[in-house]
Structure 1
Amino acid sequence: MLVDPLADQAATLRSQTLAWVRSDYARVFWAKVIEQGGTFVMPAAWQALPHAEQAEALLKMETRRVSDASTFALEPGVLQAVREIGQDTSIPLPFTPDLLPSPTGMLCLSEEEPLASAGGGLLTAVTWGPPLDGFGSGIHLAFWCPPPPELRRPEIPWFPLIQDFDLHLPFAPHWDSRLVDQKVPSGLLYTAVPVRTAVAAFYALTSTAASLGERRPRASVTQQLKQQGAKKRGVMVAAGEPSRLRQSITSRTAELAAELVPEPDRMLVPAPELGELTPIPVHSVFAAERDVELTPAQRRIAHLYREAADHWHRLELQAAQRYPGIWARLEELHARERDRWPSWCWMPSLQVTAVLATSYGTDLDQALWDGPRLAALGAWRSGGRHSFLAPRTRDTTPTDPVPTALVGSLPTPGIGLILDTTSGNHHLIAYMDTAADPSLAQAELVVISDWGRPNAMLESTIKITLYLTTGSVLEAVRATHAHYDDAARANTGEEPPTPSDASVLDHAGFMSQLLWALVDIATGGWEDAGASTGRKLAAPWPPGPGVLPEMTLWTFDYDEHDRPADAPEDM
């Protein structure tokens, strides 16, 4: 078989890329990019890793993708049609699984004939593969360009590409707004045409108007790929007449667009993991590089702040990755439907569960697990991400009365709590949920906790609840257990295990302390810890929603202010 120039060019680029992503140079380069504030799409859990380990994990992922990829190239006529469609934003480009020419792939071009340009760079390769852990349905898509002259090194002749940007691209019925004639945030405008052009290339590679055939590179390149463990070492090259191919693609896009009319609540801001959240948590006045300016006591506060902000940011990010657009969807639902539930409840957890099940097709067990956790996070973030360094403990007992007046008295819909203990820091979010059984109580206190494991993710976050009944905390715990036992019997037909007396007392003891802490917070008098650094103005009390994505930490000076010894039942 004759050597095909396009196939040889594509296979050579793939081989060089494999050598590059496996090299020590790449690990140093990727880690440096992350340290300097560069961002890559990654599972939320990876945010807890040191920069070097993040780089290692990212490179392993890219190595696997390039190694497993089918390689594709485009003849000039096909590339012309693809570029024209990518640049014509009036053409909607629905993205569905059947458009992919292979589950994992690498589209290779050249500096002379790039796919598109982005930020002044020429995009000469696109890689794609299955979504990363924790993301919803779609693909992970990465765009690559040659390194600028100042980064090229003669000692690294196989340094062919650097990753310009990557994203999670969801399948329909969810739409990335770059694929429709929609406004794109100015900071992401440069990605719109490349993303559209890549999807147009998928249309071309699976179009009946294009001929797709395997062609061979030089034997030496094929042998090199074999030694590198690359699979599918041939190159699939697409050929076709530009005008016919353009007509075929636009007809197909029109048919799909008619079937998949973008619903407003399924239209996603570009890259949900970037559109809804900052890729990394904002530490603001407590940034680690400024710790040297703080007193020892302030440095301790700064450490507590960063650990809590990082933990809750990872949970927010994980939710946005698993359920693209979820936070905007819930905020819109809250604004539209909030008169349907009590003012002291941001949104009932069963309402959130219903959204996950109906809008995302989540199975019921998963939706019931994630629903209360996302409701707590949603209440916390919607209220302004306010957190409190938990007050010192008081002598409470399980027989203390339930402070039912807490309902409607909390300063924000979701309360972040940091428990600074000798055994580690516990991070909790508490919020008021509507009671499933109003004959017991009007409200149910729901708490999600990492239980001293700040790297915990949604699947390992503990949920603790308490019906705010009249009577003692112990009686409320027993009533709560009885309610959930009855629900378990009704749902499974089986008898649930009976909790031991010790576990019931432990539950009541924990809730007694937590209720006292919430009463203390509701009483007021707290101070913005960030203002004590002299780097910001103090946030007003009571706290309210913020315009910035950063967390606000509140502290209380017990040496200057008196508090009652016991938690009051009425406030």
Structure 2
Amino acid sequence: MDRDTYAKNFAKRRESELDGQFRWMPRMYRAAASRLEKLEKQAERQFPRVFDRLDQARDAAGDSIPTWCWLPVAQVQQVLADHYPHRTTRAPGATGSGLAALAASDAARLQAIGAWRAAGRHMINIHDRTVLELRKAGDRMPADLPQRWPLQGLYVVSEAPNGALGAFLHLEWDEREQRAELRIAPDVAPTAALDRIPVQPLHLEGGTVTEAARRTVLTLQAGVDAVLGTETIPDISPGSAVDEAARMIAEKNAFWVAAADWLASDRVTPFDAAVMAGAEPAADWPPAKAPSTGRAPMLWLAGPAG
């Protein structure tokens, strides 16, 4: 697949060549590709050459990191501390723990985009009928995701009134805790903005999304205590602040958990969208490796297998 010319398959002038029911596809592609390009450029302006340095850190880590994780967020934070100590996102009056939280947020966003880049810049659109099914998927947490995860980072893209919105999905390996996490980074601001991408970690344990969210909340509180030198005895009883936070996180992210589970299963057939939009030969899923040239994202249409 020639990624240098890939985007030409979705050029506006080619929309008339498609059946009416598919003319949304090139519009969505162009809008999403533009968003993603802006995010990459914003990251590279704020942190010049950051992805080169992060890729070098990943190469240096080698087999010490599971193949399904691009680069643990702690190592991303270390690269930022070593090379960009004065370029982290700032907020008026923020000091100490506040600045540390902002630096951690920068690292989490760069990890999400970096994993997507390193995997080959793949966007995947889930069929509307499947989206409806996934919204009813329930509370199950697929703890075995690392054994099935197809690419280090994905961008799940959907049509939107302003063209396209999406979310980065990738897996994190917490080296200190020896724990796997699913990380969800929605890209839904009206215009692409690096500092408006939140990143929600969810421990891949606990059996349910709610229990995974509860364990995640407790870990985050323990991290705050470590920074502040405090000790919090959490109340995890029904109706407590921890319980309510976990339920809110679970409700907000259950769809993305179900989507990640489905995309990593044998129940899905991703189809190279360029075949419908132009004359490209069909690529196979999952792609073998990231291309060495070309920055254009590749679009896949995902429907039920068979």
Q: TM-score if structure 1 supplies the norm length? A: 0.45
Residues 421, 320 of structure 1: CA spacing in aligned structure 2 closer, same or farther, 3 A cutoff?
A: closer
CA distance in 2, matches of 1:526, 1:337: 31
Instruction: State which of 112, 115, 122 in structure 2 corresponds to 1:379.
Output: 115
CA distance in 2, matches of 1:418, 1:428: 7
Root mean square deviation, CA, Å: 2.8
1:385-534 alignment to 2 at 5 Å?
385-390=121-126, 391-394=130-133, 395-398=136-139, 400=140, 402-420=141-159, 425-435=164-174, 438=177, 442-450=179-187, 452-493=188-229, 499=241, 503-523=245-265, 524-534=268-278
CA distance in 2, matches of 1:355, 1:293: 47
Paired AA for residue 290 in structure 1: R
Task: Tell whether the 8 Å contact from 2:180 to 2:204 is kept in structure 1 after alignment.
Answer: yes
Task: Tell whether the 8 Å contact from 2:211 to 2:246 is kept in structure 1 after alignment.
Answer: no
CA distance in 2, matches of 1:321, 1:483: 32
1:520-559 alignment to 2 at 5 Å?
520-523=262-265, 524-543=268-287, 544-546=289-291, 547-558=293-304
- After TM superposition, the structure 1 stretch with the greater mean CA deviation from structure 2, 405-414 or 506-515, is 506-515
Task: Tell whether the 8 Å contact from 1:341 to 1:347 is kept in structure 2 after alignment.
Answer: yes
Residues 384, 292 of structure 1: CA spacing in aligned structure 2 closer, same or farther, 3 A cutoff?
A: same
Task: Tell whether the 8 Å contact from 1:348 to 1:434 is kept in structure 2 after alignment.
Answer: yes
1:278-293 alignment to 2 at 5 Å?
283-293=7-17
Paired AA for residue 545 in structure 1: A
1:349 aligns with 2:73: yes
CA distance in 1, matches of 2:246, 2:297: 34
CA distance in 1, matches of 2:162, 2:208: 29
Deviations 1:376-415 (A, max 9, x none): 11110111001111342322223x2x21111132211001
CA distance in 1, matches of 2:16, 2:162: 26
Residues 500, 343 of structure 1: CA spacing in aligned structure 2 closer, same or farther, 3 A cutoff?
A: closer
Offset, 1:284: 2.8
- Structure 1 spans left out of the alignment, 5+ residues: 1-277, 563-571
Three-state SS of the structure 2 residue aligned to 1:283 is helix
Offset, 1:358: 0.8
Task: Tell whether the 8 Å contact from 2:143 to 2:207 is kept in structure 1 after alignment.
Answer: no
1:5-404 alignment to 2 at 5 Å?
283-362=7-86, 365=100, 366-390=102-126, 391-394=130-133, 395-398=136-139, 400=140, 402-404=141-143
Three-state SS of the structure 2 residue aligned to 1:539 is coil
Counterpart in the other structure of 2:93: none
Three-state SS of the structure 1 residue aligned to 2:269 is coil
Offset, 1:458: 1.4
Identity of aligned residues (%): 29
Deviations 1:429-456 (A, max 9, x none): 0111112662xx6211112112x32413
How many residue pairs match? The answer is: 276
Three-state SS of the structure 2 residue aligned to 1:556 is strand
Residues 500, 329 of structure 1: CA spacing in aligned structure 2 closer, same or farther, 3 A cutoff?
A: closer
CA distance in 1, matches of 2:161, 2:47: 36
Task: Tell whether the 8 Å contact from 2:115 to 2:153 is kept in structure 1 after alignment.
Answer: yes
CA distance in 1, matches of 2:75, 2:120: 21
Residues 478, 384 of structure 1: CA spacing in aligned structure 2 closer, same or farther, 3 A cutoff?
A: same
- Structure 2 spans left out of the alignment, 5+ residues: 89-98
CA distance in 2, matches of 1:530, 1:293: 13
CA distance in 2, matches of 1:293, 1:459: 38
Counterpart in the other structure of 2:95: none
Offset, 1:282: 7.5
